[in-house]
Structure 1
Amino acid sequence: MGNHGSNLDDILAEDMHHWYNKFMKESPSGLITLFELKAILNLRGITENANSYVEQVFFTFDMDGENT
């Protein structure tokens, strides 16, 4: 049972590492719009709940309120 959780953690860590590397290649300045973020992460056709979550996370990290 404990192995299952660590495997999931490994998968999530690999995904996060992949997304981070992709983000840094496509936007080295760190400035990105919500539309660009969704494109980089290939978030097309997601549910309304998932879309709301992504937007909430984006705006949480939008420290200056400039939508980038």
Structure 2
Amino acid sequence: MNTPDNWRKSSYSGGGDGNNCVEIATRPTRIAIRDSKAPDRATVTIPAEAFTPFVEALKKTPS
């Protein structure tokens, strides 16, 4: 996957310290995820159809 240039921060980022969050970039068949505090580090990519189940599973995981 080429490095996407359409990164978007989570809607939960907010201001101040909330700016340290995750960002996603979409492609037709893949979703890329990266840490907004370290955008030059590695990204995680998953199939687009797996993104919603992935996020739902994260919501169920205790912090």
TM-score range (shorter-chain normalised) is under 0.3
More helix by share: 1
TM-score (ref. length: structure 1): 0.25
More strand by share: 2
